[in-house]
Amino acid sequence: MRLSKPNIQLNAQGKLHHFLTLEGLKHTHLTEILDVAQTFIDPATGEINKVDSLHGKAIMNLFFEPSTRTLTTFEIAEKRLSADVVNLNIETSSTKKGETLLDTLWNLEAMLADMFVVRHNESGAAHFIAKHVAPQVHVINAGDGQHAHPTQAMLDMFTIRKHKKDIFDLKVAIIGDIQHSRVVRSQIQALSILEAREIRVIGPTTLMPSNPDALGVHVYHDIEQGLDGVDVIINVRLQNERMQSALLPSEKEFFNLYGLTKERLKFAKADAIVMHPGPINRGVEIDSEVADGEQSVILEQVTYGIAVRMAVIKTIFDNAQALKK
Amino acid sequence: MRLSKPNIQLNAQGKLHHFLTLEGLKHTHLTEILDVAQTFIDPATGEINKVDSLHGKAIMNLFFEPSTRTLTTFEIAEKRLSADVVNLNIETSSTKKGETLLDTLWNLEAMLADMFVVRHNESGAAHFIAKHVAPQVHVINAGDGQHAHPTQAMLDMFTIRKHKKDIFDLKVAIIGDIQHSRVVRSQIQALSILEAREIRVIGPTTLMPSNPDALGVHVYHDIEQGLDGVDVIINVRLQNERMQSALLPSEKEFFNLYGLTKERLKFAKADAIVMHPGPINRGVEIDSEVADGEQSVILEQVTYGIAVRMAVIKTIFDNAQALKK
Amino acid sequence: MRLSKPNIQLNAQGKLHHFLTLEGLKHTHLTEILDVAQTFIDPATGEINKVDSLHGKAIMNLFFEPSTRTLTTFEIAEKRLSADVVNLNIETSSTKKGETLLDTLWNLEAMLADMFVVRHNESGAAHFIAKHVAPQVHVINAGDGQHAHPTQAMLDMFTIRKHKKDIFDLKVAIIGDIQHSRVVRSQIQALSILEAREIRVIGPTTLMPSNPDALGVHVYHDIEQGLDGVDVIINVRLQNERMQSALLPSEKEFFNLYGLTKERLKFAKADAIVMHPGPINRGVEIDSEVADGEQSVILEQVTYGIAVRMAVIKTIFDNAQALKK
């Protein structure tokens, strides 16, 4: 299944029109977003100031799948850009009355939405929507099925760059469910585009990708070997669904084999940073000592998520404006 | 049952203070709203710009009956006027704690609401509320039972005027459930006030009004005869409830007898427009070929709904301001 | 149980940093809030104007317990200060996914929240949160268990001061469930700090405090004796939970013994005012003739609640600003 048709998200000038996936994007697309995100952060205070950039623009957050965390960061980013924000829980909407998804979309579009931020439990949902909206409407993928979660990956890249400068020189290890996680898919694509020196994935066979070479990653089943000498450790949430589906034995056994503990952390470089997209399962994939420890940048990731989402939104509208000239 | 006491919605200068129903309003009331709505639409781009008119005003959307579509259009209209917007799902509020509806209202009013937008499944709810609010508080009816949905009818009139100029010359056919639909009640009143040349209603006997002469409409049971030579076709959503109540045989049979198809559309004038308040039931009251066809203005209606709702709100506040001088 | 550590809510200058409880606050803390609240009310019109004070600040309303009334007044107050407002129903959030409350909080904090307004059914929740947030984040208690509801008490003080000038001279009677009500706890503390001449509590033994002397209140089981000569009557909602727990016989019997009727009101001073935090139970703790009568200031309380909440929020941010200088 090839969900991503990279070109659908680029405009005639090759700039981002939608933001659906990292697949097919170039180094410059990513660094532009990271650079714009940096401008939102006050160098003196670390705060993110409110700007007027999107005054009069209407952004609709279409969450077909609930996610307080992602919705809230988008909502804050949108309001900090001074957009008008409407949250729509689509489960309770007209689709109940027998209206098709496309009719719902076209109606929302006719309500003069300038952008849809879409969260859906089916892979390809954001692409489907992007394919069917009017040319002046933009779509951001806020997570679709097991496919992609590109803004999460971008905030991860921003966090790495903040601590490590050039991603080009880094060895990065991702621990956990590599096979089913949309976050990891997007992270690997981002790291590849930004030419990380080495990308390692660590976990049990049942959670490893079937095509590591195509992805450009090295598979490790032993966590200590996998962490050896890395600069960045990305820990991924273990979905309960996987446990239930018998792909995994138990939380306790997973922690014994792959939980990130203080002892295991020592195998990485002394200045390695620990990341996690959240929400964390303490005592399952990560030990509290590590999650709350000095090398953890987990909460910084959340803050940078605001700046990065502001950057993605603003870049898309700026690109559309540039096209008109 | 005579729910409408037209005078309750007019102030001492005979101007709109509330907007509850079209019954009893004059030609000038309606054309004023339509003219104000026109000013919100950018003639060059067709966009609706954000204005500061309602900065500092608080509008509460009181939805006793859920309606994502209507709530969202009001919310967007209110935010585009720069009002502070609070959405209240009254089902989950203090009324649960044994407080009466009036106590709830008086409390919301004491929270300095300047306007209530009310949606309720009981006919007369918006009137009841308007009767009991303080003199400085305005009420807009966003649909009450089988009684009225005046902003929907006004956006329909705006759409017609956009395409056909003068409603005075037009033959309009409304197909569907004429007897129970609040949308149709309001449409017929609007068309009467704007002196449409002829208003036809088309459908099975069980869905026709009992008093067509009083309403000033002509009843057709044959759709081809009813559509013959009309300028405007308004298709109305068929409520599932009607099916269940045995007023109607089946969706399929309704489509066979009254579904708007490409073939039937040919009986209308060649430049007739097709309207529908949404959400549409494809294959029940309208065929996809027609809904998505060249003569369909269904999605334009949605966009104009923003401008018209902005106009109703702004007109009411302007009228109150004029009264103070 | 001593939930309140008063110092946690004061900054290095002894000014409010959080607003969790009235316990331990000084006369000046309370009068400052009341004075600031007064500045928001237009002396000519009685309206509360929108101000720009909190432009760019993000306030998150964390309601672990639903309360449309309190949430709405905070939401309006925050928007009238031009803050960016995010409402979070925490029951539907990540805590479901196994994340701890503290992890949720730290994440929300990392989303650059400047203030949390917290409602929780457990006593001490707001204190717990205040203890764990970053130094630049402020917490307001919007009601926690049976512990405190300080903004409600402050709006009550504001209402009294509006009608009676100096609280120092007043006899105040509180009727109802004194033992379990967080509102009453906070009211008694506020009245004590503002040195009301006499504080009386009226009700059946089962609802009276176990330590009246420590609270500085006089207990009356006879309502006519209790109301004799008072300036202010505060009626408190009778919680249905109390009925069910057999602390009370029945609604009807309570009304017979303690319901505030027109006849009983005559025992108070002729110009006594009647207050109630709402929502009222007509015919249980208060008769409609009194609730809607000339001496009732119940709806004024709601309006002043907006001004007082604006004042609490603004004062806290101003204090933080002053500290930086």
**Subunits close to A (at least 3 CB pairs below 8 A):** B, C
Helix (H) or strand (E) holding B125: helix B125-132
How many angstroms from the chain centroid is the CA of residue A143? Answer: 7
Q: Which of C94, C98, C106 sits opposite A68 (nearest CB)?
A: C94
Which residues are bridge partners to B202 per DSSP?
B175, B220
Nearest to A279 among C86, C92, C94 (CB): C94
- Chain B residues touching residue A93 (CB < 8 angstroms): 68-69
Could A47 and C106 be called an inter-chain contact, meaning their C-beta atoms sit closer than 8 Å?
no
- Residue A242 confidence class, pLDDT cut points 50, 70, 90: low
Q: Poorest-confidence range of A105-119, A283-297, C243-257?
A: C243-257
- Under the banding of pLDDT at 50, 70 and 90, the label for residue B94 is very low
Among C84, C99, C110, the residue with its CB nearest the CB of A303 is: C110
For Cα atoms C12, C14, C17, give the angle at the middle one, nearest 5 degrees: 75
Nearest to C157 by CA among C318, C319, C305, C310: C305
Do A278 and C107 lie within an 8 Å CB cutoff? yes
CB pairs under 8 A between A and C: 65
Residue A90 binned pLDDT confidence (cut-offs 50, 70, 90): confident
Q: With contact defined as beta carbons under 8 Å apart, do B127 and B5 qualify?
A: yes
Residue A92: CB atoms within 10 A of its CB come to 10
Most distant CA pair in chain C: distance in Å? Answer: 59
Residues B112, C303: C-beta atoms closer than 8 Å? yes
Please check whether residue B295 is in contact with residue B318, taking contact to mean a CB–CB distance below 8 angstroms: no
Residues of chain C contacting residue A303, judged by C-beta atoms under 8 Å apart: 110-112
Closest CB from B47, B76, B280 relative to A86 = B76
- Taking one residue from B and the other from C, the number of pairs with CB-CB distance under 8 angstroms is 64
Distance between CA atoms of residues B209 and B220, nearest Å: 11
Nearest CB to B279: which of A58, A60, A99? A99
Q: Do A73 and C100 touch (CB under 8 A)?
A: no
Give the three-state DSSP class for A245: coil
- Give the pair of three-digit tokens for residue A244: 């239930």
User: What is the number of residues in chain C?
Assistant: 325
Cβ contact C86:C315 at 8 Å: no
| CATH fourth-level superfamily of B150-297 | Aspartate/ornithine carbamoyltransferase (3.40.50.1370)
Rounded Cα gap, residues C189 and C174, in angstroms? 13
Q: How far is CA C41 from the centre of its chain?
A: 19
Tell how strand C138-144 and strand C115-120 pair up. parallel
Give C-chain residues touching B84 at CB under 8 angstroms: 50, 76, 79-80
What the block records as the tokens of C178 is: 């004194």
Residues of B in contact with A78 (CB under 8 A): none
Calculate how close chain B gets to A121, using CA atoms only, in Å. Answer: 21
The contact set of C with B (CB < 8 A) is 47-50, 66, 68-69, 72-73, 75-76, 79-80, 240, 278-282, 299-303, 305-306
* Residue C97 to residue A279, Cβ atoms within 8 A: yes
Subunits that touch chain B (at least 3 Cβ pairs < 8 angstroms)?
A: A, C
Q: Nearest residue of C to residue A309 by CA position?
A: C111
Q: Which residue of B has its CA nearest to C86?
A: B86
Contact B302/A110, CB-based, under 8 Å?
Answer: yes
**C279, B104: Cβ pair inside 8 Å?**
yes
CATH second-level architecture of C6-147+303-324?
Answer: 3-Layer(aba) Sandwich (3.40)
Q: How confident is the model at residue A299 (pLDDT cuts 50, 70, 90)?
A: very high
Q: What is the mean pLDDT of residues A47-51?
A: 93
Q: Which two tokens stand for residue A23?
A: 């697949």
- Residue B114 CA neighbour count, 13 Å, CB half: 21
> Per-residue confidence at A314, pLDDT binned at 50, 70, 90?
very high
CA angle A114, A118, A124 (to 5 degrees): 120
Element of type H or E holding B161: helix B150-164
Quote the ipTM score. Answer: 0.90
Q: Which residues of B130-140 are buried (b: 16+ CB within 10 A; e: fewer)?
A: beebeeebbbb
d(CA A248, CA A241): 10
Q: Does B112 contact C68 at a Cβ distance shorter than 8 Å?
A: no
Is A150-301 in CATH node 3.40.190.10?
no
Q: Are A159 and A191 in contact (CB under 8 A)?
A: no
pLDDT of residue B203: 94
- Residue C5: CB atoms within 10 A of its CB come to 14
3-state SS class at C119? strand
Q: Do residues B308 and B5 lie in contact, with contact meaning Cβ atoms separated by under 8 Å?
A: no
Write the pLDDT tens digit of every residue in C140-199.
999 999 999 999 999 999 999 999 988 999 999 999 999 989 999 999 999 999 999 999
Q: What stretches of chain C show up as alpha helix (H) in DSSP?
A: 27-40, 68-80, 101-110, 125-132, 150-164, 182-193, 212-215, 223-227, 240-244, 251-258, 262-265, 288-291, 298-324
Asked if the domains A6-148+303-324 and A150-301 are classified in one and the same CATH topology, the answer is yes
What pLDDT was estimated at residue B102?
87
Beta-bridged to residue B61, according to DSSP, are: B87, B117
From residue C74, alpha-carbon distances to C14, C120, C152 in Å are 25, 15, 11
CA distance linking residue B34 with residue A111, whole number of Å? 18
Give the sheet arrangement for strand B232-235, strand by strand. B218-220, B198-202, B171-175, B232-235, B273-275
CB pair distance less than 8 Å for A303 and C111: yes
Q: Enumerate the residues of chain C whose CB falls inside 8 A of the CB of residue B94.
A: 68-69, 278-279
**pLDDT higher for A192 or A1?**
A192
Residue in chain A nearest B238 by alpha carbon: A97
Q: How far apart are CA A217 and CA A214, in angstroms?
A: 8
3-state helix, strand, coil in chain C (%, to 5): 45, 15, 40
Q: Tell me the pLDDT of chain A averaged across its residues.
A: 92
Closest CA to B302 of A100, A112, A133: A112
Residue B77 distance to chain A (closest CA, Å): 9
User: Six-digit token pair at B60?
Assistant: 């509460």
Q: How far apart are CA A198 and CA B267, in angstroms?
A: 70
- In angstroms, the CA A254 to CA A266 distance is 19
**Nearest-CA neighbor of B107 among C221, A225, C302?**
C302
**HEC readout, B48-111:** ECCCCCCCCCEEEEEECCCCHHHHHHHHHHHHHCCCEEEEEEHHHCHHHHCCCHHHHHHHHHHC
Superfamily, domain C150-296: Aspartate/ornithine carbamoyltransferase (3.40.50.1370)
When pLDDT is averaged across residues B161-172 and rounded to a whole number, the result is 94
Query: Distance between CA B42 and CA B273 in Å, rounded?
Result: 23
Contact (CB, 8 A) for A205 and A221? yes
CB contact under 8 A, C93 and A69: yes
Architecture in CATH of B6-148+303-324: 3-Layer(aba) Sandwich (3.40)
**What pLDDT score was predicted for residue A101?**
82
CA distance B191 to B153: 9
C103: closest CA among A291, B59, A260, A203? A291
Q: What residues in B contact C66, CB-CB < 8 Å?
A: 92
Q: Which two tokens stand for residue B291?
A: 């809904």
Task: Categorise residue A133: left if φ over 0, alpha if ψ from -120 to 50, beta otherwise.
Answer: beta
Handedness of CA C258, C259, C261, C266 (dihedral sign): positive
Rounded to a whole number, what is the distance in Å from the CA of A12 to chain B's nearest CA?
21
Ranges of each domain in chain A:
6-148+303-324, 150-301
Q: Which residue of B has its CA nearest to A97?
A: B279
Q: Give the nearest partner residue to C112 out of A278, A282, A303, using CB atoms.
A: A303
> Do residues B109 and B137 lie in contact, with contact meaning Cβ atoms separated by under 8 Å?
yes
Could you tell me the two tokens for C117? 């307004």
Beta strands in chain B, from DSSP E residues, in sequence order: 58-63, 84-89, 115-120, 138-144, 171-175, 198-202, 218-220, 232-235, 273-275
Nearest-CA distance A90 → chain B (Å): 9
pLDDT of chain C, 325 residues: tens digit per residue: 444 555 899 999 999 999 999 999 999 999 999 999 999 999 998 899 999 999 999 999 999 988 888 999 999 999 999 999 999 877 644 445 556 788 889 999 999 999 999 999 999 999 999 999 999 999 999 999 999 999 999 999 999 999 998 899 999 999 999 998 999 999 999 999 999 999 999 999 989 998 999 999 999 999 999 999 999 999 998 876 665 666 667 888 889 999 999 999 999 999 999 999 998 989 999 999 999 999 999 999 999 999 999 999 999 999 999 998 8
Q: Residue B73 and residue A108: Cβ atoms within 8 Å?
A: no
**Contact at CB, A103 and B280, closer than 8 angstroms:** yes
